[in-house]
């Protein structure tokens, strides 16, 4: 019996390279793009372990849970880590980065998450990139939750290591990811005796055995199902037009905020300033006395397929996430989420205006 997932032909080196080129076009980068055969945590960890060591002083910006993880990896590599944490209801500013770099002039590595699906904020990477470049530090960026939802431009922004994954706004699979690597970043890794080599975490292996060899021979059999899905999702973004895809995400975020304000019932945008709110997902703060995880459970009881989640860890008490990304970056998904949240709030005795929320979303979407 034939099956669409089974009995696949091996993916050729030329095909693999063409998918890398396609991802490079999406990021508008001339840097080397290496596609990694695993979820985005693979290049996120591989890039830190490759670039950081005992001589590194890293400014690690924490705007959500991923920044926390990067700090742990950096410390594990022997780096001196300066954590710059900002509250989850806001974004970090280029001014804060500049001040931290002035206070710690020995900083030679900066790690940042672009957009945080987990906390709903997005950081001004273009401005931050200017500050990092002026200082001369290597700039590492987690763009997993921003790619496809808003512009991600490693070359224009001076990002040396830019990691993306397909599973959020690109609407692709979780089992494949990519990283763009600048010449400076390759040089840093090559000079790092502790950089992973002959390891699944190693970016240098891909540099030496794949990129430098003219991309003729793959290191191992690629995950062809995930690679084909990655190719398909980039193709689909190209067909719709990246600007259109990003506009859909921006509209979904704006409409969710407008709808929630009109809904009332004590629910409000978690990220205070709309300019700091990520296009990929909108986080909401529940009123005192309403446990976010319970509210989400009630809202999902009617339709378990809605893209709603409670915040992770301690945030499960007060944060609701509307994950309006990929196929859910639509007016219909936003309306359905707010209607379900409104109904759940009503069940808990809160006064809500479902009709006003509907109109708020419609008017905002335009
Ligand atoms: C989603 C996401 C990732 C990938 O991690 P998962 O736990 O697999 O979802 C990495 N970084 C950021 C900022 C993300 O939002």
| DSSP state string for 144-190 | TTTBTTB---HHHHT-SEEEEESSSTT---SS-EEEEE-HHHHHHHH
**Residue with CA nearest ligand 1 atom 10:** 144
Q: Cβ(283)–Cβ(311) under 8 Å?
A: yes
Token readout for 74 is 């950096």
pLDDT of residue 286: 98
pLDDT digits (tens, 9 = 90+) for 89-146: 999 999 999 999 999 999 999 999 999 999 999 999 999 999 999 999 999 999 999 9
- Domain ranges for the chain: 13-239, 242-364
Band (328; pLDDT cuts 50, 70, 90): very high
Q: Is the CB of 114 under 6 A from ligand 1?
A: no
Whether ligand 1 lies within 6 angstroms of the CB of 169 is answered as no
3-class secondary-structure state, position 205 = helix
Taking 90 as the threshold, does the pLDDT of residue 1 lie above it? no
Confidence of residue 13 (pLDDT cuts 50, 70, 90): very high
pLDDT tens digit sequence for 65-74: 999 999 999 9
Average pLDDT of the segment spanning 338-356: 97
Question: H or E element: which one contains 242?
Answer: helix 242-263
- Cα-only R_g, the chain: 21
What the block records as the tokens of 111 is 């790690």
Residue 152 near residue 146, CB atoms below 8 Å? yes
- Give the model's pLDDT for residue 319: 98
In the numeric block, which tokens belong to residue 117? 């699906």
| CATH code at 242-364 | 3.90.1150.10
* Mean pLDDT value of segment 277-289: 97
Q: What is the pTM of this model?
A: 0.97
Give per-residue pLDDT as tens, 168-206: 999 999 999 999 999 999 999 999 999 999 999 999 999
**Cα(111) to centroid(ligand 1), Å:** 15
Binding residue positions for substrate: 321
The residue-averaged pLDDT of 216-220 equals 97
- Give the CATH fold of the 13-239 domain: 3.40.640
Containing H/E element for 321? strand 319-322
Percent share of the chain, pLDDT over 70: 100
DSSP per-residue codes, 98-139: HHHHHH-TT--EEEEESB-TTT-BB--HHHHHHHHHHHT-EE
Rounded to whole angstroms, the Cα distance separating 300 from 304 reads 5
- Both tokens of residue 19? 């998918």
pLDDT at 217 over 90: yes
| 39 touches ligand 1 (CB under 6 Å) | yes
For ligand 1, whether the C-beta of 74 sits within 6 Å is no
117 lines ligand 1 (CB under 6 A): yes
Q: Measure the CA–CA gap between 330 and 343, rounded to whole angstroms.
A: 20
3 alpha carbon to ligand 1 midpoint, in Å? Answer: 30
Burial string for 268-281 (b: 16+ CB within 10 Å, else e) reads ebbbeeeebbbbbb
Average pLDDT of the residues of the chain? 97
Q: How far is the CA of 144 from the centre of ligand 1 (A)?
A: 6
The pLDDT tens digits of the residues spanning 15-60 come to 999 999 999 999 999 999 999 999 999 999 999 999 999 999 999 9
- Ligand 1 center to residue 210 CA distance, Å? 27
Classify 142 as helix, strand or coil. strand
Mean pLDDT for 213-224 is 96
Following DSSP, what letter does each residue of 73-98 receive, concatenated?
HHHHTT-EEEEEE--TTS---HHHHH
| Closest CA relative to residue 25, chosen from 201, 152, 143, 215 | 152
Residue 366 pLDDT exceeds 90:
no
Q: Indicate if ligand 1 lies below 6 Å from the C-beta of 168.
A: yes
């Amino acid at each position: 019996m034939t099956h669409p997932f089974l009995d696949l032909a091996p993916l050729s080196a030329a095909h693999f390279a063409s998918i890398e080129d396609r991802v490079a076009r999406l990021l508008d980068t001339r840097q080397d793009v290496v596609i990694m055969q695993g979820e985005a945590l693979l290049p996120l960890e591989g890039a830190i372990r490759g670039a950081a060591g005992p001589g590194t002083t890293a400014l690690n910006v924490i705007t959500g849970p991923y920044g926390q993880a990067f700090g742990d990896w950096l410390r594990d590599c022997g780096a001196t880590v300066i954590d710059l944490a900002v509250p989850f209801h806001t974004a970090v500013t280029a001014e804060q980065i500049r001040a931290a770099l002035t206070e710690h002039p020995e900083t030679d590595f900066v790690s940042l998450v672009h957009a945080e699906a987990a906390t709903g904020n997005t950081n001004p990477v273009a401005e931050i990139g200017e500050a990092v470049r002026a200082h001369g530090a290597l700039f590492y960026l987690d763009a997993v939750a921003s790619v496809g939802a808003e512009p991600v431009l490693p070359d224009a922004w001076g990002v040396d290591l830019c990691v993306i994954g397909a599973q959020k706004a690109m609407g692709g699979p979780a089992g494949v990811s990519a990283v763009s690597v600048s010449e400076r970043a390759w040089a840093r890794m090559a000079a790092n005796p502790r950089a992973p080599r002959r390891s699944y975490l190693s970016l240098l292996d891909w540099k030496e055995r794949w990129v430098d060899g003219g991309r003729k021979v793959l290191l191992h059999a690629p995950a062809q199902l995930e690679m084909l899905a990655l190719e398909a999702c980039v193709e689909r973004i190209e067909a719709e037009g990246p600007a259109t895809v990003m506009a859909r995400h921006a509209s979904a975020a704006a409409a969710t905020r407008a709808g929630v304000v009109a809904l009332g019932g004590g629910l409000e945008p978690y990220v205070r300033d709309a300019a700091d709110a990520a296009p990929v997902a909108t986080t909401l703060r529940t009123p005192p006395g309403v446990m976010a995880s319970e509210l989400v459970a009630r809202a999902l009881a009617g339709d378990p397929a809605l893209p709603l989640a409670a915040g992770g860890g301690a945030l499960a008490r007060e944060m609701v996430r509307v994950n309006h990304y990929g196929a859910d970056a639509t007016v219909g998904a936003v309306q359905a989420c707010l209607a379900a949240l409104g109904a759940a709030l009503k069940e808990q005795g809160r006064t809500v205006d479902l009709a006003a929320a509907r109109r708020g979303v419609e008017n905002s979407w335009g």
